[in-house]
Structure 1
Amino acid sequence: MRRHRTAAGILLAVGALLTGGLTAATAAQAATPVASPSPASASASAVAHSASAADQRTARAFWTADRMRGATPLDLHLGADALKTLKPPAPGSTTTTVAPTSFPQAGGPWTGGGAVVKTSGRVFFTFQGRTASCSGNAVTSKNASTVITAGHCVKYQGSWHTNWVFVPAYDNGQAPYGQWTASKTLTTPQWEASEDINHDIGAAVVAPLNGQTLTSVTGAQGIQFNGGYNKQMYAFGFPAASPYDGTKLIYCSGNSSKDWLFSQDHSLGCNMTGGSSGGPWFTGFNESAGTGLQVSVNSFGYVFLPNRMFGPYFGNEAKALYDKAQAS
C-alpha cells in the first residue's frame, strides 16, 4: 500500500490497490446515457503517452504465463520507508467464499458470473524495470477499445509504465480472451502534474487483437460522470497482496460515503489489497447480469482506517479523460 504524508505529517495508506462492457444480452444498458458534465468542464485535456508498434510487439511477447504469475502489486515496489508503514491484514479479513448476493461484503471471490467476469481483468506493466500489476475494466466507447484504470497504474513517480497489457478474465497465468497491448495510455492533468489523489484515474486504448476490438470480444460496462455520492456500490479487482494472490476476481459491496478526511473521494468498506488498484466501482449493479455503471476505481486507503477503500469521484476531469481515450 502506498503511503503519503499530508501537510500535517499524517501517514496515509494511499494505496496502490492496483483493479467494461456489456454483453449482447445486456446491450440495452450500453445505451444508457452518460451524465453530461457541467459547463465548467472546460478543464485541461487529459495527458497521453503513445506506444509504438514495436513497443506493442515487445509487450505482447514479454508477458509469459510465468511473468504474469510473478508480477507483484505496484505498492510493494516502493521504498523501505513506505514499506515500514504497512500493516498486516486485520483479524478476520482473510479470503472467504461468499454468495454473490452478500451485501454488504467486505471482500470475497465473485461467484456470480455475468458480464463483469469478462470486462474486468488484470493489468500488467513494467515500472522502473520491475514487473507489476493492477486491475482494469473495459467500458463502452466509440473506439470499442477503452480500458479504465487508476492513474498510478499508467504513470507513477514521473514515469509512464511500459509493456502495458490488459488481460480480461485473467485466470492464474492464463489469458482466456487474449492479452491486449496499449497503443496509448492516458491520465488526468492533475495526476500527471502532482499525483493529486483526487484525480487518480487512468485509461488505456488497446490495439486490435486478431482483427477484433476489445469490447467486441469482452463486452463493455456503462460509465457515468457527476453521479453524486452516497450510493450502493460494488467494487471489483484482482488483489495480489496477502491475504489474496491475484488469481481470483474479488469484490466488495456496500453503501458508499464521501471521504470526510482529506480527499473528495468515495469511500467503501473493503479489504482488497495491492493489485486491486484500477478495478471498477459500479452503481446500479445488477448481480444477475453482472453489469452496472462505472463511477470510480480502486485507488487508496488510510493506514489508520483498515478495511476501507477509497476511489476518485468521476467528475468533469474524468469525463475529459474518457472522451480523449474513446476518440483515439
Structure 2
Amino acid sequence: MTLSTPMLAGAPLLAGLIGSALLGAAPAPQQAERPVTTAVSAGGPVFSVARQVVRRAGIVEHVAARTPADQQRVLDYWTPQRMAKALPIGLLGLATSDKGLLGDLTGGRALPSLPGGRGPAAGQALPGRTAQPAEPRHHAAAAPSTGTVGSRWGSGGLVARTTGRVFLTVAGADFVCSASTVRSANKDLVVTAGHCVKDGAGEWAANWTFVPGYGSGGKAPFGQYTARRMFVAGPWSRSGDDNYDIGMVALATSRGRHVADVVGTQEIAFNTPRGGQAFGFGYPADPPYNGSHLVYCAGRLRDDPHKQTRDQGLGCAMTAGSSGGPWMTRFDPRTGKGTITSLSSFKYSDDQRTMYGPYLGDAAKALYTMAGRA
C-alpha cells in the first residue's frame, strides 16, 4: 500500500492516505437523503448544513450552506483571527479524531508531519521528515519564467483574480487550500482538490469559503464566497483514490453577484494530450512560504515514475496550502489566461521538488458538467 499525503496546509496527513484503487471501479449505488448534521468544535461552531448525499454516475454530491442565513453563519465564522490560525499544524493526529481516512490507517495515533509529501512508492520504507526546499524568491520576477519550481507571481492578469485561498473545517480543525474559478453555466463554479472538499471516505468539509485574489493580511478584494453544493468523484469518496482527487464546488453569490461576474473565469479541458508545458498556481502556507502570496511553478509535465497513479508531475517546491491550485496549459503569462488541465494534489515524500496532479478524464468531465449546472 502506498501512503499518500496531499498538500492541504495544516493537514499534511488529512486525506489521500491510501493507495490508488483500480481505475475500473464500479459506480457507487444510489444513496438516500441524510439528515442535517451540525458539529461543534472547541474553537467554535462548525456549520455543516448537510442535507443529502446523492450518488449518480459515480458522482457524490453534498449540500453545504444552502440558505442566506447558513451562508452568513459561515462568513461570520471566518474572522480574521480564525483565518490567521488556519495555518500549518505540526501533527494532524493532535487535531483530529480516530475516524475517517486518517484514523483508518493510524488508529488515531499521530504520524510524523511530512512537509506535504506523499508516501513512498510501494515496497519502500516510509522516510522521516525530509529537508525543506530551498528558500524561494519572495519578490516577483521581472517577467514570468517558463521554468521555475516556486516563484511569487507578480505579473497580475486574470490568474491573480481567478485563483484564491480556500478556508475549511474538518474534524473540528481549520485548514486552508487553493482553488480557481472555472467557466460554467451557473457562473458559480470553482475547481480544487478532492481532499480540500471531502476527507476521502471520511467526512465532508464544513465552513467552506473561497477568497479569490487573496491578499497579504487576509485581504479579500473581491469578496468571500461560501459553498452551496460540493461534488467529488465516487472513487475519491469511497476510497480516497488519488487518480480522482478532484473537487468541484458551486458557490453562493457575494453581495448578490456571481463569482464569475466579479473576477472572471479560466477555461477547463478534459482528455487532453499528456505532457507539454504547464503553469501551476497556489497559496502555499508551510515554510518557507506563509500563504500570503500567489506562487507559481512552470515546466514540463511528466508521468508518475512510480506508476502508482495516472497523475502527471510538475517540478514544484510549493508546500502545503497549495492543494487544489490550478495547473494550466496554453497559458499566456501576459494576460494570465489559460486552460485548466490538472491541479496540485500530492508529492512523494522522497521527492519534495515534484508536485503531482490528476489527469482530467471522463470522470472529471462528468463532475464538471453536473457541478456547473448546480
TM-score (norm 2): 0.75
The residue number in structure 2 matching 1:46 is 59
Counting matched residue pairs gives: 295
Give 1 or 2: higher helix fraction.
1
Give the counterpart of 2:158 among 97, 115, 120.
115
RMSD after superposition: 1.9
Q: State how far apart, in whole Å, the 1-side matches of 2:335 and 2:215 are.
A: 21
Map residues 1-328 of structure 1 onto 2, 5 A cutoff: 5-6=1-2, 12=4, 14-17=5-8, 44-51=57-64, 52-53=66-67, 54-73=69-88, 77-78=92-93, 80-83=110-113, 85-90=128-133, 92-97=134-139, 98-157=141-200, 158-172=202-216, 173-261=218-306, 262-328=308-374
Q: State how far apart, in whole Å, the 1-side matches of 2:243 and 2:294 are.
A: 25
Distance of aligned partners of 1:17 and 1:200 in 2 relative to their CA distance in 1, 3 Å threshold: same
CA contact (8 A) 1:154 1:161 kept: yes
Q: State how far apart, in whole Å, the 2-side matches of 1:232 and 1:303 are.
A: 24
CA contact (8 A) 1:16 1:73 kept: no
| Deviation at residue 77 of structure 1 after TM alignment | 2.7
SS in 1 for 2:352: coil
Q: Deviations over 1:229-272 (max 9, x none)?
A: 11100000000001000000000000111112111101000000
Q: Deviations over 1:40-94 (max 9, x none)?
A: x9x934211102324322111111122212212589635621426432313x343
Q: Specify which structure has the bigger relative contact order, considering alpha-carbon pairs within 8 angstroms and separated by 6 or more residues.
A: 1
CA contact (8 A) 2:91 2:111 kept: no
Could you tell which deviates more after superposition, 292-301 or 203-212?
203-212
Q: After the TM superposition, which segments of 4 or more aligned residues of structure 1 sit over 3 Å from their partners?
A: 73-76, 93-96
Unaligned ranges ≥5, structure 2: 10-26, 28-55, 94-108, 115-127
Percentage of identical aligned residues: 41
Distance of aligned partners of 1:201 and 1:59 in 2 relative to their CA distance in 1, 3 Å threshold: same
Distance of aligned partners of 1:76 and 1:320 in 2 relative to their CA distance in 1, 3 Å threshold: farther
Q: State how far apart, in whole Å, the 1-side matches of 2:89 and 2:334 are.
A: 32
The residue number in structure 1 matching 2:33 is none
Distance of aligned partners of 1:299 and 1:114 in 2 relative to their CA distance in 1, 3 Å threshold: same
Q: State how far apart, in whole Å, the 1-side matches of 2:328 and 2:91 are.
A: 27
Give the partner amino acid of 1:264. R
| Deviation at residue 305 of structure 1 after TM alignment | 1.3
The residue number in structure 2 matching 1:28 is none
Q: State how far apart, in whole Å, the 2-side matches of 1:249 and 1:315 are.
A: 27
CA contact (8 A) 2:157 2:336 kept: yes
SS in 2 for 1:83: coil
Q: State how far apart, in whole Å, the 2-side matches of 1:281 and 1:255 are.
A: 11
Give the partner amino acid of 1:47. V
| Deviation at residue 117 of structure 1 after TM alignment | 0.4
Distance of aligned partners of 1:192 and 1:103 in 2 relative to their CA distance in 1, 3 Å threshold: same
Q: State how far apart, in whole Å, the 2-side matches of 1:95 and 1:162 are.
A: 34
SS in 2 for 1:101: coil
Distance of aligned partners of 1:75 and 1:189 in 2 relative to their CA distance in 1, 3 Å threshold: farther
Distance of aligned partners of 1:231 and 1:183 in 2 relative to their CA distance in 1, 3 Å threshold: same
| Deviation at residue 96 of structure 1 after TM alignment | 3.8
Greater Rg by CA: 2
Q: State how far apart, in whole Å, the 1-side matches of 2:74 and 2:90 are.
A: 21
Distance of aligned partners of 1:201 and 1:306 in 2 relative to their CA distance in 1, 3 Å threshold: same
SS in 2 for 1:322: helix
